[in-house]
């Protein structure tokens, strides 16, 4: 019974994301409640396990992306300087793009803010808040997320060359 429920949930959430996003490439796997915007562009072999993308800015996610549970990408913020009220303008927004290159893995409950680019092959530790761009092959974490290590680039390139993607 549990396996049937899991298959139905995957089918439902995967089809929901297919309809919500601007573009996607197969395969697409959505294992748990997720939502994206019409400004979301997905590469192939995307794996969401609880992703929420909100705001008016665009999000571009490369191929072979994996997310943990309860991840959030925010591309929009209220305008706070020069607006019609304080603490922020209630009618005007600041939107910023998020770019995630190929082969990126986000742990559970990662938050990514607009204006961020995450380089190819990067890993972001669970619970991190990404406010600045992260270089390719970086292993990062914290509040705000900072690089604390790097992937073994020779091993990474060998796996990529041999087409070993999960």
Mean pLDDT for the stretch of residues 84-93? 83
Q: Taking all residues of the chain, what is their mean pLDDT, rounded to a whole number?
A: 95
**Is pLDDT at 27 greater than 90 in this prediction?**
yes
CATH architecture of 2-161: 3 Solenoid (2.160)
Catalytic residues: 78
pTM comes to 0.94
Predicted pLDDT at 82: 79
Could you give the CA distance from residue 79 to residue 89 in angstroms, rounded to a whole number? 5
CA terminus-to-terminus distance, the chain: 26
CB atoms within 10 A of CB 116: 20
Predicted pLDDT at 115: 98
């Amino acid at each position: 019974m549990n396996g049937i429920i899991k298959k139905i949930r995957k089918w439902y959430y995967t089809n929901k994301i297919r309809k919500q996003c601007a573009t996607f490439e197969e395969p697409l796997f959505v294992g748990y409640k997720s939502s994206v915007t019409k400004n979301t562009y997905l590469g192939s072999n995307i794996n969401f396990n609880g992703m929420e993308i909100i705001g008016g800015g665009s999000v571009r996610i490369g191929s072979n992306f994996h997310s943990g549970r309860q991840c959030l990408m925010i591309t929009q913020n209220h305008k706070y300087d020069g607006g019609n009220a304080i603490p922020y303008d209630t009618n005007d927004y600041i939107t910023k793009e998020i770019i995630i290159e190929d082969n990126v893995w986000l742990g559970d409950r990662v938050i990514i803010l607009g204006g961020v680019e995450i380089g190819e092959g990067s890993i972001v530790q669970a619970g991190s808040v990404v406010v600045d761009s992260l270089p390719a092959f970086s292993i990062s974490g914290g509040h705000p997320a900072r690089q604390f290590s790097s992937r073994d680039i020779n091993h990474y390139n060998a796996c990529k060359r041999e087409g070993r993607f999960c």
